[in-house]
């Protein structure tokens, strides 16, 4: 597993050219983009070729219905789609990051899309962030959220969006290597917004999250920086000033109320191997949880650590599992407590290297996290396909109910599947948790993306850096 510091990452971005150093992306979260009462699935494909332009990138929306998802009910959106700003160009990687929220509070979910390698008037690989606006006809028009930075770099490599109410209670956060940017509402379809806040105090930002950590009804940001020296992962911040980093590290962040106390909790995946055993990080990777409170989350907040050696968590911590390489937080068992969904894309399964696995750690109002945890792989009964070397099942994870049965489906990206064309597995919501029974898989060709390699359907998550 590679261990790069910030300087090395930036150098890699200059020398690797089209590959780029990092894309810290969560799985595409479903949203009701056309207002028919069913959430629609988001399948990003940042490596998709568009009109002969390699890796220009695309996002495929599969419309939800009472019967679930069907490849025939889809819309493919690129920068060449009418109403979408910009033009598809080689290696823009449109769809490298996505986020979903009803930004303008009109009853239709909106989709925020990052193109971190877009060249703009501000420079090469400056990046762009585009809002695709929901409507009765679905996602038909878009506007950009411009970075206020004078020299943005990889702007939009991770995105978070959260709407807790009108105006300043709706936020969008975007990561970049020069800075992170946080936008507040009110947002409009014409591209206006309340305020854009540029944060340049926390180093190169790898991942962003939003949550109501202190219960005041207003979203608050958290950022995770790129790797810092010999630390596993980067530094985690909820307050943007020097010396305020939280105890613990990570490369990807998410939020949700894990213990049901009314405050959002911050969760970070730290999939790196420790440089010095016992000094930082954990063998095979870890997840850290900082509980919110009336005072929010500060550097005095001690995190709870979860690994595959935690009591109740299946498996065992093994070198280079990359546990924490994929991450989302969602209430899968409908008990009012958010569950932590952890991808371990490098996990060996049945002796197959780097096949990948996903572990769900249920939220708990009391007692230790880990009890009742369960794991999915491609060898789980009912899950299509089988575990193969470098499938990276668990690259990205997300959840959402697309058939309105009250049982959220679990979405698992496997970016290495089928020569890195990628795949997204949809596991139905069961009586008390998602199940492999009746699971489906969407591949690039099944949704009209026919190139032979590198489509990266589902997104490539943290695979450029772990």
Q: What is the pLDDT of residue 22?
A: 39
Could you give the CA distance from residue 221 to residue 297 in angstroms, rounded to a whole number?
11
pLDDT tens figures, 197-244: 999 988 799 999 999 999 999 999 999 999 887 788 999 999 887 778
Q: In 3D, which of 281, 285, 250 has the Cα closest to residue 266? A: 250
- Per-residue pLDDT of 251-310, as tens digits, reads 999 999 999 999 999 999 999 999 876 678 999 999 999 999 999 999 999 999 999 999
- Tokens 């109410």 correspond to what residue? 165
Q: Into how many domains does the chain fold? A: 1
Residues 237/53, Cβ–Cβ less than 8 Å = no
Q: Exposed, middle or buried, 369 (CB in 10 Å: 0-12/13-18/19+)?
A: buried
Whole-structure pTM value? 0.94
CA dihedral 261, 266, 269, 273 (to 10 degrees): -100
At 15 the three-state DSSP class reads helix
For residue 21, being part of any structural domain is answered with no
pLDDT score for 86: 96
Provide the pLDDT for residue 1: 40
Residue 258 lies in a domain: yes
Establish if 65 belongs to a structural domain: yes
Range of the domain at 315: 30-447
Q: In 3D, which of 113, 155, 109 has the Cα closest to residue 134? A: 109
Using 50 as the pLDDT threshold, list the residues of the chain that sit under it: 1-23
162 in a domain, yes or no?
A: yes
DSSP letter for each residue of 262-323: SS-EEEEEE-SPPSSTTTSS-TTBEEEEE---TT---TTPPPEEE-TTSTT-SS---TT--B
Three-class HEC string of 160-214:
EEEECCCHHHEEEEEECCCCEEEEECCCCCCCCCCEEEEECCCCCEEEEEEECCC
Query: What's the CATH code of the domain at 283?
Result: 2.130.10.130
pLDDT of res. 19: 36
Spatial distance between the Cα atoms of 43 and 443, rounded to a whole number of angstroms: 10
The answer to whether position 457 is within a domain reads: no
């Amino acid at each position: 597993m590679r261990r790069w510091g910030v300087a090395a990452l930036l150098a890699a971005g200059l020398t690797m050219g089209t590959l780029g150093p990092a894309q810290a992306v969560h799985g595409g979260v479903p949203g009701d983009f056309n207002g028919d009462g069913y959430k629609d699935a988001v399948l990003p494909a940042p490596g998709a070729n568009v009109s002969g332009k390699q890796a220009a990138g695309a996002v495929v929306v599969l419309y939800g219905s009472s019967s679930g998802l069907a490849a025939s009910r889809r819309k493919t959106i690129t920068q060449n789609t009418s109403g979408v700003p910009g033009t598809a160009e080689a290696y823009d990687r449109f769809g490298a990051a996505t986020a979903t929220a009803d930004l303008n509070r009109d009853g239709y979910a909106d989709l925020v899309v990052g193109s971190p390698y877009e060249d703009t008037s501000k420079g090469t690989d400056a990046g762009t962030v585009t809002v695709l606006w929901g409507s009765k006809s679905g996602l038909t028009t878009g506007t950009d959220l411009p970075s206020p930075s004078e020299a943005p770099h990889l702007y939009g490599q991770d995105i978070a969006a959260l709407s807790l109410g009108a105006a300043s209670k709706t936020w969008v956060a975007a990561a970049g290597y020069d800075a992170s940017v946080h936008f507040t509402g009110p947002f409009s379809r014409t591209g206006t917004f309340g305020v854009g806040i540029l944060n340049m105090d926390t180093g190169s930002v790898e991942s962003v999250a939003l949550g109501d950590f202190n219960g005041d009804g207003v979203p608050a940001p958290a950022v995770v920086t790129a790797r810092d020296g010999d630390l596993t992962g980067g530094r985690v911040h909820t307050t943007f000033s020097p010396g305020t980093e939280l105890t613990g590290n990570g490369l990807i962040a998410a939020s949700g109320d894990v213990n049901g106390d009314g405050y959002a909790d911050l969760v970070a995946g730290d999939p790196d191997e420790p440089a010095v055993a016992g000094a930082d990080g954990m063998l095979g990777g870890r997840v850290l949880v900082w509980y919110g409170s009336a005072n929010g989350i500060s550097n005095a907040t001690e995190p709870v650590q979860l690994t595959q050696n935690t009591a109740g968590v299946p498996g065992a911590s093994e070198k280079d599992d990359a546990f924490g390489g994929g991450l989302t937080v969602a209430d899968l068992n409908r008990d009012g407590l958010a569950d932590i969904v952890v991808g371990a894309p490098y996990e060996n399964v049945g002796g197959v290297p780097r096949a990948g696995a996903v572990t769900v750690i249920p939220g708990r109002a009391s007692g230790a996290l880990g009890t009742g945890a369960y794991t999915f792989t491609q060898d789980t009964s009912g899950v299509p396909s089988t575990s193969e070397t470098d499938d990276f099942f668990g690259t990205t994870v997300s959840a959402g109910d697309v058939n309105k049965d009250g049982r959220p489906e679990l979405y698992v990206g496997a970016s290495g599947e089928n020569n890195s064309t990628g795949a997204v597995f949809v596991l139905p919501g069961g009586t008390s948790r998602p199940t492999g029974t009746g699971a489906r898989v969407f591949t690039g060709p099944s949704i009209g993306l026919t190139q032979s390699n590198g489509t990266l359907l589902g997104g490539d998550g943290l695979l450029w850096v772990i």
